[in-house]
Structure 1
Amino acid sequence: MTFAAAALRRAVPLVALVLAACGGGGGGDAAAPSGAYATKTAYQPRQALASYEAPPTGFAKVYAELVARHGSRGLSSLKYDDAVLNLWSRAQADGALTPLGQRLGPDVEKIMRANFLLGWGVAGIGTPGYGNLTQVGMTEHRQLAERLARRNPELFSGQTFQGVPRRVEVLHSGQDRAVDSSQFFAASLAGAAPAVAGAIAPAVVNRYQLYPHKLSASGDAVADATSVNAAVLAASLDYQSYASSKDAAGFGAEAAAKVAAARAAPQVRSHARAVLERLFTSTFIDKLDAGAYSFSNNGTHTYSSADGRFTNTLTGDGKTKIQGIVDAAALIYELYIIAPGMAQETGSLDFGAYMPAEYAPTFAYLQDIDDFYGKGPSATEYGGVTTRFTQALLKDFFDEVGLIAQGRLERVARLRFTHAEVMIPFVARMGLRNASTPMPRAQTYTYGNNPWRGEDVSPMATNVQWDVVRDSRGTVLVKMLFNEQEVDFPAACDAARYATGSRYYEYTGLKRCYGL
């Protein structure tokens, strides 16, 4: 979480923030996410293959491009699980566990063991352990590739088009999860469309497009100060100052205070206590609430694979803190949302008993407000600080179509693999519906006043795809899919729509609309 750590260091008054009742999310209503898994929601395509709009008469598909988040993963490091296990161990020593609470520790250890060994024995995983893709995550990208091939059979039926040799390009951020996702995707595409298997080029790293939120002035210096990459580097440094609450304007500190206020809201505290009362005695919870107890991820653990050929020993860094009841419930929620994506590694462990459905939306909201201000649309007056660094990625989407418009047909597809920290600002920068509306600075994001939902905007393997078609005169049209659902470009681009009701847009008009 971007602002949560800063939020915990702030003393803020309790405020009442509207938390809507549990229900379906993603629309313009005030409903909370339906699954309450926020951005850890496992991926599902949003439209059936048979229902896609066909190209207009006289147009044929010539190109496809995609950017996708990595697939479902395990925990990023030894933190939430170890902190919760330390909390549980203290309660066990105090005799403060309920019957349900007695089950919590062993189940946390199941998640911990699965993360220590994650990827062991799996072809394509270089270093086993925390942060790797799960079997669910691998499947998400394999199936995403299969559907791409089935949706565009004419693109992947051979290695030439009108006599021109063509290739499939693969780019990733250089980070393990994105690298592995690209490999599973590419291998699946080769299997689904063997005619182009030999045309899939080796993957390359592009940090300016696919890891722009973490660029460094020294390691990512750009020689050409007028290039888009130089602008992205500057925007990245601005963003990092904002995310660490060190920007000169004070916007980062202001956003962190909004997140802190949300965590301190009476309803959040009430729901946190209700979650904990199912697991621990009131006396133990009172001590935690009063500050008599605090915990962190400072343990050391060792797990070995069943075959004895791999052993992993890790020590927590002590930076993930439990300093009250909201912290405790929020970290239990972190385990609740990671568990579905680890079903095959944990024996389909159900963490729902520890995070009841009536309380999960409260903690989904805490995730969403943090992501909204830390990665998403944030506030109108913040000047796009959370999205400007995606400019190179946006430009590349248009540049690729521009090559097609010039008659350059060397590439049949361009496939990019990245992270939520890029996908969330990218779709906000693109102006996609329900993913891009900032809040006025004087107001705070809630489920009641903004349709932005993490589970809709950035589930695992979230993706944006462009299908590109061309006619005999050289007119090029673009259709956009968001999580495999045909979607409109922003209303400001309606002049570029090819026909009333169509999801195809003229490339030249779109380019003007986006100011590129």
Structure 2
Amino acid sequence: MRSRRPLTLATVVVAALSLPMSGAHADISNDRFYANQTPYGDPGTSVVAPPAGYELFFVQNVGRHGARSLTGPGTEKRALAVWKGARRKNALTTRGTKFDDQLRAFQRAEKKLGYGNLSTVGKDEWRSIGRRTASTYQGFFTAVGLRGEKIAAQTSPVYRTKQSANYFRRGLQSVVPSIPSPSRKVNKDLLIPEGSTKAGRAATAKVLRRSSVKAAARTVLLRLYKKSYVNRLSNPVGKALDVYQLYSTAPGLAKDTRVTFADYVPVSAAKHLAEATDARTFYRFGPGVKGQTSSYRGARPVLKDFFGALDARIAGGSTAAVFRLAHGEVTMPFAALIKAPRSQKQASRAFSYGSNPWRGFVAGRLAGNLEWTAFRNASGEVLVTMRYNEQPVQFNASCTPSALNPYFYRVSQLKSCLG
């Protein structure tokens, strides 16, 4: 039975008709170049008010898990092996002598959490998103509880997504205690294998050979090791990227350890190593090579599930919200599949920051999320709007918005332009 309760949107209502994702408010900050390991931060939350006569009746999303420790010790073992080799040859710099102790302190924090599990920051990220979501749609979720309707949660089989779902639930219930606890199930479609092609891998290799990336790698290694040792290292870019991965993971563990690795990765070098990291991710899970779809087509079952859940609700189903907690390997291809802002441009030549707007810190950021909300009027007509990292965005240019508001779309139109 449809509710005619008024919807309270307890947030700022966006008045502008255009909100590009390149805006600083939407993007948070990229000033330290952490690529897709950038913590979610606090983007604030905004919504666009629905056209007159339309009331919220369904919410769904897909999001990446929160900040975590490294998924395994491989990066640390490789970095430590290089360091031990330098120590044996008396080739450590004064700064480099501290690396071993810092790495081991970092590992202690990770082992306490468990490799691949949420950090304190990661738990806070999804608890805060839950709190803001419940505050934004408080009237709706209160009515859901009163009507005895259901909330559904989906996770991948991986524990950190289950943790994220749990902390999201806590955030929701901290604002609306009467909201029903989500019934959670594992959805294996929320694990998507990488989809790089021969052309994408060749382009990635080309990026790794760029003089700017090589120079950045050398800058990092010379902070740790003497020049004579660095000159003899094989694959110096790969070895520097291991240090960069520690550096980019550390912000997500800021409440669990004071180790940052920032002494070894100046911002000037981080920019180029982030570009190399983003290039690899772009071809594996992003828009990818021009004319090819393998990098993102694995997200099609997720899009199908979005439409299936929406159709079920329109048909009278009692599930009022579906929350999917997954991985960057899902949010990135899903964004590319639907051509979300800054995920619509494929690469006709090797990816670079100068030639393509795609960024891992937007499309793949920790706890990043895409949300669809559906509104219905008394005649049963349905309109859908989207938020990306809690900011209103329009669907891609091939989708024709409703004449009532350029941020709202008919379901038939979305099935046509996104299908």
Is the contact between residue 207 and residue 351 of structure 2 (CA under 8 Å) also seen in structure 1? no
Per-residue CA shift, 1:93-116, capped at 9, x if unaligned?
222122111111111111122112
Is the contact between residue 33 and residue 364 of structure 1 (CA under 8 Å) also seen in structure 2? no
| CA distance, structure 2, for counterparts of residue 409 and residue 266 of structure 1 | 57
Partner of 1:445: 351
Partner of 1:96: 91
- CA shift for structure 1 position 512: 2.5
Larger Rg: 1
Partner of 2:323: 415
Partner of 1:138: 123
Give the 3 Å change call, closer, same or farther, for CA 422–262 of structure 1 in structure 2: same
- The aligned runs of 1:396-435 (5 Å cut-off) are 396-406=305-315, 408-435=316-343
Partner of 2:31: 34
Partner of 1:505: 409
Per-residue CA shift, 1:92-142, capped at 9, x if unaligned?
222212211111111111112211221xxxxxxxxxx21111000000000
Give the 3 Å change call, closer, same or farther, for CA 422–205 of structure 1 in structure 2: same
- CA shift for structure 1 position 498: 3.9
| CA distance, structure 2, for counterparts of residue 159 and residue 430 of structure 1 | 29
- CA shift for structure 1 position 159: 4.2
**2:254 pairs with 1:343:** yes
Equivalent AA in structure 2 for residue 492 of structure 1: S
Per-residue CA shift, 1:243-292, capped at 9, x if unaligned?
4xxxxxxxx2222122112212222222211222222111111222xxxx
Give the 3 Å change call, closer, same or farther, for CA 340–212 of structure 1 in structure 2: closer
SS at match of 1:141: helix
- The aligned runs of 1:1-16 (5 Å cut-off) are none
**2:216 pairs with 1:271:** yes
Partner of 2:375: 469
| CA distance, structure 2, for counterparts of residue 281 and residue 514 of structure 1 | 54
Partner of 1:260: 205
Equivalent AA in structure 2 for residue 277 of structure 1: L
Equivalent AA in structure 2 for residue 57 of structure 1: A
| CA distance, structure 1, for counterparts of residue 373 and residue 214 of structure 2 | 47
- The aligned runs of 1:206-225 (5 Å cut-off) are 206-208=187-189, 210-213=190-193
| CA distance, structure 1, for counterparts of residue 226 and residue 412 of structure 2 | 65
| CA distance, structure 1, for counterparts of residue 65 and residue 298 of structure 2 | 19
Give the 3 Å change call, closer, same or farther, for CA 62–78 of structure 1 in structure 2: same
- The aligned runs of 1:277-426 (5 Å cut-off) are 277-288=222-233, 323-346=234-257, 348-382=258-292, 384-406=293-315, 408-426=316-334
**CA root-mean-square deviation:** 1.9
- The aligned runs of 1:43-192 (5 Å cut-off) are 43-46=40-43, 48-49=44-45, 51-118=46-113, 129-159=114-144, 164-192=147-175
Is the contact between residue 45 and residue 485 of structure 1 (CA under 8 Å) also seen in structure 2? no
The runs of at least 4 consecutive aligned structure 1 residues that moved more than 3 Å come to 158-161
Give the 3 Å change call, closer, same or farther, for CA 58–100 of structure 1 in structure 2: same
Identity %: 30
SS at match of 2:83: helix
Per-residue CA shift, 1:391-432, capped at 9, x if unaligned?
1211221222223333x1511211111111111110100111
SS at match of 1:486: strand
| CA distance, structure 1, for counterparts of residue 252 and residue 380 of structure 2 | 44
Is the contact between residue 155 and residue 412 of structure 1 (CA under 8 Å) also seen in structure 2? no
| CA distance, structure 2, for counterparts of residue 468 and residue 187 of structure 1 | 24
| CA distance, structure 2, for counterparts of residue 175 and residue 429 of structure 1 | 23
| CA distance, structure 1, for counterparts of residue 140 and residue 346 of structure 2 | 38
Per-residue CA shift, 1:64-96, capped at 9, x if unaligned?
111111000000101111211121122222221
Which runs of 5 or more residues in structure 1 are unaligned? 1-24, 119-128, 214-239, 244-251, 289-322
Which runs of 5 or more residues in structure 2 are unaligned? 1-20, 24-28
| CA distance, structure 1, for counterparts of residue 48 and residue 250 of structure 2 | 36
Q: How many residues align?
A: 394
Q: TM-score, normalised by structure 1?
A: 0.73
Q: TM-score, normalised by structure 2?
A: 0.89
Is the contact between residue 26 and residue 452 of structure 1 (CA under 8 Å) also seen in structure 2? no
Equivalent AA in structure 1 for residue 229 of structure 2: F
